[in-house]
């Protein structure tokens, strides 16, 4: 992504203090997504990075990861697989519990989501502690597929998610 594109996206992200609880600065991406040039810059950058890499499936994290994941998958000619909050997927699932910057949750994927040894790109809007992303890695590996890389629009560097994901390739468009 060019420097001026990065600056444009940075300006479009809205920071909201004390949401969803005191002490958290919430990085609101809705203000960047609703801007047609902003949306184009974000999706094009991911598309350029991941096209022609032999990625079979893009896995997006519930809910904000779906926005990017499906668009990237379509653009690179891969399938899209949702990793969902508990109780949402109708068929047999694999499940992993994880901690969040605020709270705890678990995430699920359909057991038949992809074939063994598939090449997987994990996508989410934001990397904070890395709890969600690590859970996604565990889900992919439970299905005996291979994580190609993890891609985020935003990385909150202070929370050290990248270290938590040591051993895996991590890409982020913007760092805070």
Kindly state the smallest distance separating residue 75's Cβ from ligand PRP, in Å: 21
Report the nearest approach of ligand PRP to the CB of residue 144 (Å). Answer: 24
Per-residue contact track with ligand ADE, 88 to 117, x per CB under 6 A? -------------x----------------
Using CA atoms, how far residue 66 sits from 8, 22, 60, 112, in Å, is: 23, 27, 5, 19
Reduced to 3 DSSP states, what percent helix, strand and coil does the chain have, rounded to the nearest 5? 35, 35, 30
32 near ligand ADE (CB under 6 A): no
Residue showing tokens 């938590």? 164
Per partner kind, with CB cut-offs from 5 to 8 A, the member of ligand PRP, ligand ADE, none near residue 63 is ligand PRP
Nearer of residues 118 and 132 to ligand ADE, judged by Cβ: 132
Among residues 101, 108, 155, 162, which one is catalytic?
Answer: 101
Residue nearest to ligand ADE (CB): 128
Instruction: Report how far apart, in Å, the C-alpha atoms of 130 and of each of 37, 50, 52, 163, 176 are.
Output: 29, 21, 27, 8, 15
Whether 129 and 159 have beta carbons less than 8 Å apart is answered as yes
Find out whether 95 and 24 touch, Cβ atoms under 8 Å: no
| Residues 172, 176: Cα–Cα separation, whole Å | 10
Helix axes 3-12, 36-50, angle to 10 degrees: 130
- What is the nearest approach in angstroms of ligand ADE to the Cβ of residue 162? 14
What is the bridge-based pairing of β-strands 93-99 and 104-110? Answer: antiparallel
Please report whether residue 26 would count as binding ligand ADE according to CB under 6 A: yes
Number of residues that bind ligand ADE (CB under 6 A): 8
**Residue 49: active-site member:** no
Q: Are 96 and 19 in contact (CB under 8 A)?
A: no
Is 101 a residue of the active site? yes
Cβ-based nearer residue to ligand PRP, 55 or 126: 126
Out of ligand PRP, ligand ADE, none, which partner does residue 27 contact, by CB within 5 to 8 A per kind?
Answer: ligand ADE
What residue ranges bind ligand ADE (CB under 6 A)?
A: 24-27, 101, 126, 128, 156
**Residue numbers annotated as active site:** 64, 101
């Amino acid at each position: 992504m060019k420097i001026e594109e990065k600056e444009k996206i940075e300006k479009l992200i809205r920071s909201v203090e004390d949401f969803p609880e005191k002490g958290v600065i919430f990085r609101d991406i809705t203000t960047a997504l609703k801007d047609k040039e902003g949306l184009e810059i974000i999706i094009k950058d991911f598309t350029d990075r991941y096209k022609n890499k032999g990625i079979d499936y893009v896995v997006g994290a519930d809910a904000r990861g779906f926005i990017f994941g499906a668009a990237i998958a379509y653009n690179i000619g891969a399938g899209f697989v949702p990793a969902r909050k508990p109780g949402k997927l109708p068929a047999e699932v694999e499940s992993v519990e994880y901690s969040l910057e605020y709270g705890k949750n678990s995430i699920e994927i359909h057991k038949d989501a992809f074939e063994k040894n598939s090449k997987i790109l994990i996508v989410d809007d934001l990397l904070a502690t890395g709890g969600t992303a690590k859970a996604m890695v565990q889900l992919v590996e439970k299905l005996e597929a291979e994580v190609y890389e993890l891609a985020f629009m935003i990385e909150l560097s202070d929370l050290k998610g990248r270290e938590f994901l040591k051993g895996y390739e991590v890409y982020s468009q913007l760092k805070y």
